[in-house]
Amino acid sequence: MGVEPLSRLRHLLQTLAFCLVIASLKAYLQPGESYAGSLVYSIAIGSCIWALIDFGRTRVDPDSDNGWPRGWRGALLVGLSIPLGFAAGIAIGDLCFGRAPWHGRDTQELIRSVLLTVLASAVISYYFYSSGRSAGLARRAREARQEAAEARLKLLEAQLEPHMLFNTLANLRMLIAADTPRAEAMLDHLIAYLRATLDGSRAAWHPLSEEFARLDDYLALMAVRMGDRLAYRLDLPPMLAQVPVPPLLLQPLVENAIRHGLEPQVGAGRIDIGAQLQGDTIVLTVADTGRGMPFSNAWGTGFGTRHVEERIASAWDGRASVRCEAIEPHGTRLLIQIPAQGSA
C-alpha cells in the first residue's frame, strides 16, 4: 500500500506538533534552559526520526492494510531509526547554533535527552501505527459493505427479471393476436430493457442517462400492461446525463411505486421520475399519485427499499441520503440526495 503525499504531510505536521509539545514540556521542567534551543533540537530530532520511519516503512515489506512493515521488521525499523535520527538531529541542532558537533555535553543531560527521545518516538510511532491500522480496518469494512451490496444487487436482479419476463410474455401472448403493433412495441421495449439489464450487471457504475433509459423501457412495458391507468414522465437535464450511479438504483423504487401505489388503486395514476441539481447536491425523485404511504407501507420494509438504502450508504460512504414524503391528497415521493462532486 503506497503512502499518499497528503497523508505523509499530515504525519509530518503531527510530528512537528508533538515536537512543540515536547520542547514546551522540557522548558517547563527545566526553566534554566533556552526554549529556542529546546525547540530547534526537538524539531530536528523529531523530523529526522519521522523521515527515517515514514519513508522506510513503505520500503520494507509493508502490510497492505496499515502500510507498516510486517512483524518484527516494524519494530526493527523503529529501533534503528530512533538512534540514527537522534544523532542526525543533534548534529543539525549543533549546526544551527554554530557549535562543534557533539561538543562537551553533560552526560546526565544526554541520557535524559535519549530517554525522552526514545519514549516520545515510541509513543508517536504507536500512534501512527494505530491510526494506520484503524484506517485499514475501516477500509476493509467499507469494501465488505460494498461487496455485500453488490451481492444483494445480483440477487435483486435475479428476482426482478423472471418476474418481469413472465408477466411481459403473458401480455405479449395476448397482444400478438389482438393488437400486433402494440405487441411489437412491447417486444422492442423488452429487448431494450433486458439488454440494459445485462450491461448494467457487468458494471459497478453507469451514467444516469442509462439508468433513466432503462426506467423508460420498464415503464413503457408497464404502460402496455396497465393501459390508460398509467402515465409517466422522466425528466433528466442534459447536464446530469453523465453523473455516475450504481445500476438499478432507482428500479426498486419505481417498482414499489407501481406495485404498492398505482396498481392497487381504482382509476388512473402517474409516476414522475426526475433529477435536479441543487447547489452541490443532486436530488433524484420518484413520485407517484398512488394510494400513498398509509396504505402501502412500502418504504423501509421491503427487500428492494432496504437494498437501495444499503447501496446508497455504501456507494457514497455516508455522503448520500434517502427520504420518503407523503403527497397530498394521496401519493408518495422518494428523494435520493447524492453529492454532485466526486460521486463515484
Q: Residue 301: helix, strand or coil by DSSP?
A: coil
Mean pLDDT of the chain: 80
DSSP string, 207-269: EHHHHHHHHHHHHHHHHHHHGGGEEEEEE--GGGTT-EE-TTSSHHHHHHIIIIIISSSSS-E
At 149 the pLDDT is 65
Average pLDDT over residues 267-293: 91
Which among 311, 236, 305, 228 is positioned nearest to 269, based on CA atoms?
228
Neighbour-count burial of 222, counting CB atoms closer than 10 A to its CB (0-12 exposed, 13-18 middle, 19+ buried):
buried
Set out the domains of the chain in order of their start, with CATH numbers: 5-153 (no CATH), 162-339 (3.30.565.10)
Which of 128-132, 150-154, 237-241 has the weakest average pLDDT?
150-154
Beta bridge partners of 269: 230
Average pLDDT over residues 143-156: 67
Other Cβ atoms closer than 10 A to 143: 11
Residue 302 confidence class, pLDDT cut points 50, 70, 90: low
Average pLDDT over residues 12-27: 84
pTM: 0.54
At 72 the pLDDT is 80
Question: Tens digits of per-residue pLDDT, 55-75?
Answer: 887 777 677 666 777 778 878
The residue with greater pLDDT, 2 or 93, is 93
At 282 the pLDDT is 95
Res 202 pLDDT > 90: no
Residue 252 confidence class, pLDDT cut points 50, 70, 90: confident
Res 301 pLDDT > 60: no
At 296 the pLDDT is 45
Q: Residue 325: helix, strand or coil by DSSP?
A: strand
At 23 the pLDDT is 83
At 344 the pLDDT is 45
Nine cell digits for residue 10: 499530515
Other Cβ atoms closer than 10 A to 209: 15
Which among 128, 123, 121, 127 is positioned nearest to 42, based on CA atoms?
121
Question: E-strand spans in 85-191?
Answer: none
* Percent of the chain's residues with pLDDT above 70: 85
At 21 the pLDDT is 85
- Bridge-based pairing of strands 269-278 and 230-235 is parallel
Residue 298 confidence class, pLDDT cut points 50, 70, 90: very low
Q: Measured between alpha carbons, how far apart are the two ends of the chain, in Å?
A: 21
Contact status, residue 288 vs residue 270, Cβ threshold 8 Å: yes
Q: Residue 328: helix, strand or coil by DSSP?
A: coil
Question: Tens digits of per-residue pLDDT, 66-125?
Answer: 677 777 887 888 888 888 888 888 888 888 887 766 666 677 777 877 888 888 888 888
Res 150 pLDDT > 60: yes
